[in-house]
Amino acid sequence: MTKKYPFDYWRAPLPADLGYHSPVPFYDGQGVQAEQCLYIGGGPCYYAGSALNATRPFEILIAEGDEGLWQFLEQAYQREFVREGVELGGGK
């Protein structure tokens, strides 16, 4: 495999988390992360994410560069925030 970026797991940014901020909860009992969330333009937001989700996008960044990473993130956005053509969570 040819790497787009010369990172490896010893000399690289740490893939720590992949998550989202949303103005609406996505599951029952999801607590408010912040009352005035800067990431969604103000107002309360709900956060969900996982360190377990961070490895795959990091591997894509190394192998395909930022173009591959943005493609992966767009697919993740569609999967999480778009249901039957309706955007959830106040996306663009």
Kindly report, residue by residue over 55-92, the tens digit of the pLDDT: 899 889 888 989 999 999 999 888 887 865 556 655 44
**31 pLDDT band (50/70/90 cuts)?**
very high
Q: Residue 46 is which amino acid?
A: Y
Average confidence (pLDDT) over 28-45: 92
- Residue 22: name the closest of 85, 75, 83, 80 by CA: 80
28's tokens: 């029952």
